[in-house]
Amino acid sequence: GNTVELNVRIFEDQPAAVQQLTQAVQDWCATHHCTVRIASYPSEVSIDDSTASQTDIFFFDIELAGGSGLHAAQAIRSHHPHVPIVFLTNHQKYVFDGYTVQAFRYLMKPITPKDCASCMEQAYAFSQSKQQQMLRIIQKGRWWFLPIEQILYIEATGHVCRIQTQQEQIDCRKSFCELRQELPPHTFIQTHRSYLVNYRDIHTLSDKSLCLDDGEQIPVSRSYRPAVIQFLATHLGGTL
């Protein structure tokens, strides 16, 4: 299979602690055949949403220079409810504060390899679950991960497939057949030889088309219509 790459972010103002944790993370990844990208920050900096969504685990010194690591963690947790967050501290008293942002882990410094291993196992599992909910596409020579739930429908047009999301239209070089195999069959229904639709965005079904929640019409060909009706009856319980 493909090599797993983990993205790790460390908020810690003590260089020795950063070095030790970095080494522990690298050692774990080496023995588990993962590649790793580690970014460290000596103070509380604001992380934009796309950076946070690419991160597989955060380590926060709870007494971070320039602010509280707890505050930064709360900001991330409010938009990313499932990403693993680990607090690092020299003081036992902070352990209770950590649970207010569902920190899955709380570690006393110095971090042992065993502690680090259990954190990285969580990060690995989180990374895998994220990938299953993402569609990997290449655009302008770069790989992008597109959240599957944001896809409204896919249309095959000539040599490209047009992916319509809630925000934009993306032209993708993958074949329609490849995309059909990569998207979860319990979420996407083929309505026509050139269309795949996310059933969660379907509003109504008429004779020859589907109407999406935003009013857009998607063709339903005669040969696919019985399967579409069956699919919708199963998934929507006849609410159309």
Token pair of 239, please?
A: 């609410």
Number of H helices, E strands in the chain: 7, 15
Give alpha helix (H) positions in the chain: 15-31, 49-53, 69-79, 95-98, 113-132, 176-182, 225-236
Predicted local distance difference test score (pLDDT) of residue 1:
45
**Rounded average pLDDT per 10-residue block, the chain, 240 residues:** 83 93 96 94 80 90 76 81 85 63 71 89 86 79 81 93 92 91 88 94 91 94 94 69
C-alpha distances out from residue 77 to 34, 223, 233, Å: 25, 46, 37
Predicted local distance difference test score (pLDDT) of residue 101:
54
Predicted local distance difference test score (pLDDT) of residue 95:
61
Reported residue count of the chain is 240
Predicted local distance difference test score (pLDDT) of residue 170:
92
